[in-house]
Each structure stands twice: as C-alpha cells, then as structure tokens.
Amino acid sequence: MAFRAVHARWGPVLAHLPDLGCGRDWPEVWRVRPRAPLRCDECNHPMHAIVSRNGMRFFAHAPGAPKCALAQESAEHHLLKLELAAAARDAGAHAELEVRGPDDVWRADVLASDPAGAWRVALEAQLSPITADDISARTARMLKDGVSSVWFSDRVRVPWFVVVPWARVRTAERGGLVVIEGLSRFPNGHWEQGPPAVPAAEFLRWVFGDRVVAHQRRAAGRSPLAARHILWTPPRYAELEVAHLAELEAKERRKQEELRLRQEKDRIALETRRAALLPVPQLLRPGRLLFGFFAAMAETELENIREATLEGLDTAARKGNHGGWPPFITDDMLHTVLRRRANGETVEDIQPDLIIPIGKRRQSPSLSSIYRALAEHEKTQAYPEAVATAHADFAAVQQRDRSPK
C-alpha cells in the first residue's frame, strides 16, 4: 500500500489529493485500459490504483514485486501519514507524501514546506520499533540538507523520545489527530506537561511559526517528562530555564565560597591554638615577662579611666546636667497644647502650629512626643507633693554644691 506513485508522463502522483498533485483526476488512473503507466517510487515496480471498501484511495504493487519498504508499511502507518499531511495543509503548509532527499540518502513520510520556500519540515510517522541511534542518524541526514524533523507516534513507551523532536498523538473521538504529549512549560523551576490535547494542525502551526521550539531540557521535569529530554515549548520558557539554572549555579558558587572561607577561618584558628601550645625558648621568656607587665599597666589605666568617667557623670547628674538633647516640648509648647485642647481642638490639629526651638530645621514635634509630654504632665498633676519634694531636694543639692568647702 502506498499513496504515492510515479506516472511516466505526469511525474509524481499522490492518491490522497483531489487533483493527484499534478492537475489530474483519479478516474484517469483508476480502472483504465490500458493501465496507467505507474511505477513505485521506491523499487520502480509497476503499480495500479485501488479504492478500498471504505473509499480510501491508494496504489498497490503489481504481482511479482520485489521486497519494497513501501509495500511492507502497515495500513495504520499509511493512515497516520495521511493525517499528518492533512494537518500540515490545514496549518498553511504545502505537504507531499514520501519525498526523497538528494541522492536518496533520506526519505520523508510527509515533507511540509513553506509556500514561500523559507523552511522545510519532515513529519515522520514512526510506529514500528527503531533504536535511538538509527532514528538519530536519520534525523541528522535530513538536517544536513536543511530539513528539520518532527517524529510522531501513538505508542507510550518509546525509547527515542529522549533523542529527537517528538510528539505523541491519538485520534480524537470526533475524528482528526490530536497531540497528547510533547508540549511542556516551565512555571516554577521545573518542567511540567503542557496542554493535554492540541489538534495536530494547531500544533504544526505553532511549530512552523516558531511559537514552540524543540528544546533539550536541563532542569528537572515532573512525570511523565522526567524520562523525556527533548520537549516542545515556547521560547520564553527555554529562556526562563537558562536564567533559573544560572541563578542556581550562582547560589552554589556562593555556598562553596562561604564554605571555603569558613574552612580557612577554622584552619587559621587551629594553627593559632597549636602555636600557643608550642614550648617557648628560654631566650624569649624575659620578653614575655616584660610584655605581661605592660599589659597589666594598660588594664589598670583603662580601669582608672572608667572610674573617673563614671564619677564625672554622677557629679553632673547631681547638678542637674543629665546630658543629651534638650526636650523638644518646652513648657510654653505644653501650655499651648493644654489651652487649645481645653477649647476642643485635637492634638493632630495643634501639631502643625508647634515649632521645635532647637536645631537648624524648623519643624513640628511628632505626635508621639506630644503625647509623652502630656502623659508626664498628667503624672505631675496627679502627685503634686512628690514633685514639690523632688524640686526641693534638687535645690538643696545645688545649694550644697555651690557652698565653699
């Protein structure tokens, strides 16, 4: 069974096309006498046109044909090629079945090409077993002639899904081919399955327009993508993976550098401890005693400075000089706040009219400073006797300090 034959005068004839791909009609090759001069494109044996019971048109080898690759292909394989050709045409491409490459080094099941001649893509239907090395070699031969490829299969466990651009397909319930595996996305630092059922024509439209590209993943992938290394994905997801891996590598370099510095620090500390435990030569012992004496003197001087500083701070406090900034809220400002609050104004309304008298910038105190000053004032009003006693004690201390000794 084949869908392509070569006519002696017309050239290639395609059974699945209404005009046979050469501007002719099917009745011109089917049931005509004498038989149409058709030959196999693979083995050059005579062929004749046939229509199956369900109306499918194809070409069959005449009796006595030699062993031919086209004759050995299954009906399932031929139907998948027809579906791929139809999907390619729906995607806006020109599609030919069973196209040979230069010098017969390769043969494409379906060759889809840009009507303007900008690109060519081979759509390969692969249902029979094949090794990864063989399919890689076939892909490389086509790519050498400028023809990229997409391999389609409806099988589940296919070993070559890891080495060539691929897509797993099935026939939809309402007819037509859909891609159920092969598309992927990279949302959160890992690869995961893309849309589950995309019409084959839409998938090919994305491939032809470079909206999805064949990308060999490096980051982790969720099942079933964990066993797939080449995925179809939008270019932005491939760029996201590159950025993500660069970030991980930078993080790992920082981690290794921190570990190296920590180990270096531990090494220096260990060497220092070991050096401290080494025996000191007899000639160095007088020098150690001298350094110990000066160290003791320095510690004594430091203690004297500390005691003098504390004594000075205590004397200043007894005189009422506690250091630090003067209060932001003066008595006049507090009196203004109390008076205006008594008239019914809020602190928020009063704040802009208050100006801090110190500092180069004339600005208003914060609301928290005003509320603290009000709280201190309320404490003073609540315990007037204690406040009066404290003022009297403070005046006595000042008088005693001013008196001659």
Q: Which residues span the domain enclosing 156? A: 100-270
Rg for the chain, CA atoms, rounded: 46
Number of Cβ within 10 Å of residue 322's Cβ equals 8
Same domain, 164 and 238: yes
Segment (H or E) for 256: helix 235-276
Same domain, 292 and 262: no
Q: Which residue among 19, 52, 72 closes a domain?
A: 72
Same domain, 12 and 105: no
Residues 6+ away with beta carbon under 8 Å from 112: 88, 91, 93, 94, 95, 120, 121, 122, 123, 204, 208
Whether 48 is covered by a domain: the verdict is yes
Whether 86 is covered by a domain: the verdict is no
Same domain, 215 and 160: yes
Same domain, 114 and 259: yes
Total of domains in the chain:
4
What's this model's pTM, rounded to 2 decimal places? 0.56
Same domain, 16 and 40: yes
Whether 323 is covered by a domain: the verdict is no
Residues 6+ away with beta carbon under 8 Å from 185: 191, 192, 194, 233, 234, 237
Same domain, 135 and 243: yes
Same domain, 5 and 32: yes
pLDDT truncated to tens, each residue of the chain (405 aa)?
A: 777 888 999 988 888 778 888 888 989 998 888 889 999 887 889 999 988 887 888 888 888 888 877 666 777 888 888 889 989 999 999 998 888 888 888 989 899 999 998 999 999 998 888 888 999 999 999 999 999 999 999 888 778 878 899 899 998 887 789 999 889 989 888 888 888 889 999 999 999 999 999 998 888 877 666 667 888 999 999 999 999 999 999 999 999 999 999 999 988 888 887 776 655 554 455 566 677 777 778 888 888 888 888 888 777 777 766 565 666 678 888 888 888 888 888 888 888 888 877 766 678 888 888 888 888 888 878 777 766 776 676 666 556 655 554
